[in-house]
């Protein structure tokens, strides 16, 4: 019997040899990526230069020293998911190719923008009036983005919206943060327009993650830092009083000592508000979440949990500064220890983020359905055939079988998977072996006469013989040539 071997390996294009490939892509593709990146750098060079001067860890502002790590983490994320990225289908989103899902999502963006705009006009002024203008601008931007996506599709519409946002940041907005956000949106739209949604499902996180590297505008920074200053001072005073240290809070200052005696003041400035550690912990939390294989909702929870962890660590830092000032030295608390304690608190904060991930892994475990698991084990269709068919002994006295009949006869002689050990003594009668139904051989119906006929007596001392009635089908009226007919066993066997 000849066996033909089928080659299932995919045929490679001979033109795509090793010399024309670099890191999984053709050299021409890398050339196109380089041209697009060069045009992007040329367009946003003033913006990128300002960001480097403000955020570099050498001579930049210390509040944004973490920004240089954000694009590096994004590149590492792409490297980890490089196989899925290379397998993704690249399909440009040209104008005129509209889908139902795209139209629904763009309409949803318009409606959401309208709701944000109305909330900025009617609701926000009653609570935080200083942020009403920001909320109204956010709602207007969302409506414009959705309208462009509905007319031009999401790729080209996002790219044009990013360019419009960048231009608005130059004039009349005159806002550096608006220009930075416009640059990120332009990058998002460019990748979506040239590569499509399959690639964007992988690259959306490194692009959106760049928002964490953008310095906040001064007004927004101060508006967030002031509540954090008050919270840190209030909790620090409560902890100091619990430890027996007399302390009072006046605004954002902590006064340590009795009112009638000598007192010392600690000022919880903007640098102590914890906004620097807040942005750092959000960056670390997002990196830990999205570099792991978790569901999206768990990644979001792990990223959001970095906010209370950062606030807790900053409160503990301010409390430690107060204890150090009271029990040790005021000069030490205001000098080197002020910066050193802030760096040390990053260590427990990092382990708290890892502990949150560990807690999510223990609380939410993927469990396989037991019914499906039992069905996969006990289902006859899932079992291999050699586990269902065992050997059927040939009858004594049967003659040789011809070659043609042997080929036409079904193969039912298969050894069982687990042999049954013979534990019986030599003198004991031989037990009857288990007989299973052969695959593909239908069993004939037994007649009432054969079912009610008495058993044939056997001679004393003769071993028992397994009954094959109902297993071996009766011979046909005219047996094939060369295949002897089965005869009943002789008396006394």
Give me the numbers of helices (H) and strands (E) for the chain, helices first please.
Answer: 20, 5
Residue-level pLDDT at 461? 52
> pTM of this prediction?
0.68
- Which tokens hold the place of 36? 């697009």
Distance of alpha carbon 264 from the chain centroid: 51
Question: Are 110 and 140 in contact, with CB atoms under 8 Å apart?
Answer: no
CA atoms of 349 and 278, how far apart (whole Å): 10
Give the number of other Cβ atoms within 10 Å of residue 138's Cβ. Answer: 16
Distances in Å between the Cα of 140 and the Cα atoms of 75, 125, 132 are: 32, 17, 12
Domain boundaries, the chain: 26-97+153-215, 216-363
- The number of CA neighbours under 13 Å toward the Cβ of 293 is 4
Residue-level pLDDT at 273? 64
Question: Are 286 and 307 in contact, with CB atoms under 8 Å apart?
Answer: no
Q: What is the pLDDT of residues 91-119, one digit of tens each?
A: 988 887 788 899 999 999 999 999 999 99
Give the number of other Cβ atoms within 10 Å of residue 454's Cβ. Answer: 5
CA-wise closest residue to 302 among 342, 350, 269:
350
Q: Are strands 247-250 and 253-256 parallel, antiparallel or unpaired?
A: antiparallel
Parts of the chain with a pLDDT under 50: 1-16, 372-373, 375-392, 396-418, 423-428, 436-441, 448-453, 471, 479-484, 486-487, 492-493
- The number of CA neighbours under 13 Å toward the Cβ of 98 is 14
In DSSP notation, 241-268 reads: HHTT--EEEETTEEEES-SSS--EEEE-
């Amino acid at each position: 019997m000849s066996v033909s071997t089928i080659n299932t390996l995919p045929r490679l294009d001979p033109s795509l040899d090793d010399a024309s490939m670099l890191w999984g892509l053709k050299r021409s593709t890398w050339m196109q990526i380089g041209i697009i990146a060069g045009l992007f750098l040329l367009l946003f060079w003033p913006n990128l230069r300002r960001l480097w001067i403000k955020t570099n860890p050498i001579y930049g502002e210390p509040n944004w020293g973490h920004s240089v790590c954000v694009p590096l983490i994004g590149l590492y994320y792409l490297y980890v998911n490089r196989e899925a990225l290379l397998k993704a289908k690249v399909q440009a989103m040209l104008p005129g190719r509209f889908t139902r899902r795209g139209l629904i999502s763009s309409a949803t963006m318009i409606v959401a923008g309208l709701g944000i705009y109305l909330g900025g006009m009617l609701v926000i002024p009653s609570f935080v009036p200083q942020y009403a203008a920001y909320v109204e601008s956010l709602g207007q931007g969302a409506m414009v983005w959705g309208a462009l996506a509905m007319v031009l599709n999401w790729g080209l519409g996002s790219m044009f919206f990013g360019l419009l946002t960048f231009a608005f940041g130059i004039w009349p907005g005159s806002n550096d943060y608006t220009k930075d956000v416009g640059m990120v949106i332009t990058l998002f739209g460019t990748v979506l327009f040239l590569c499509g949604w399959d690639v964007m499902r992988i690259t959306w996180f490194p692009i959106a993650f760049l928002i964490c590297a953008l310095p906040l505008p001064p007004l927004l920074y101060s508006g967030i830092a002031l509540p954090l200053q008050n919270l840190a001072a209030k909790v620090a005073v409560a902890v100091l009083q619990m430890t027996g240290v007399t302390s009072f809070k006046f605004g954002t200052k902590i006064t340590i000592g009795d009112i009638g005696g000598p007192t010392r003041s600690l000022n919880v400035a903007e640098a102590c508000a914890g906004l620097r550690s807040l942005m750092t912990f959000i960056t670390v939390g997002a990196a830990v979440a999205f570099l792991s294989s978790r569901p999206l909702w768990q990644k979001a929870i792990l990223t959001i949990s970095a906010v209370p962890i950062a606030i807790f660590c900053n409160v503990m830092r301010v409390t430690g500064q107060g204890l150090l000032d009271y029990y040790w030295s005021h000069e030490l608390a205001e000098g080197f220890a002020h910066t050193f304690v802030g760096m040390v608190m990053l260590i427990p904060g990092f382990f708290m983020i890892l502990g949150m991930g560990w807690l999510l892994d223990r609380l939410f475990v993927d469990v396989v359905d037991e019914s499906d698991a039992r069905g996969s084990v006990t289902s006859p269709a899932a079992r291999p055939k050699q586990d269902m068919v065992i050997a059927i002994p040939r009858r004594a006295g049967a003659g040789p079988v011809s070659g043609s009949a042997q080929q036409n006869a079904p193969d039912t002689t298969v050894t069982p998977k687990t042999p049954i050990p013979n534990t019986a003594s030599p003198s004991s009668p031989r037990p009857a072996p288990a007989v299973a139904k052969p695959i593909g051989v239908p069993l004939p119906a037994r007649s009432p006469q054969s079912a009610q006929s008495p058993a044939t007596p056997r001679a004393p001392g003769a071993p028992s013989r397994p009954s094959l009635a109902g297993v071996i089908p009766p011979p046909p009226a005219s047996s094939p040539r060369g295949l002897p007919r089965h005869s009943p066993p002789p008396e006394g066997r």
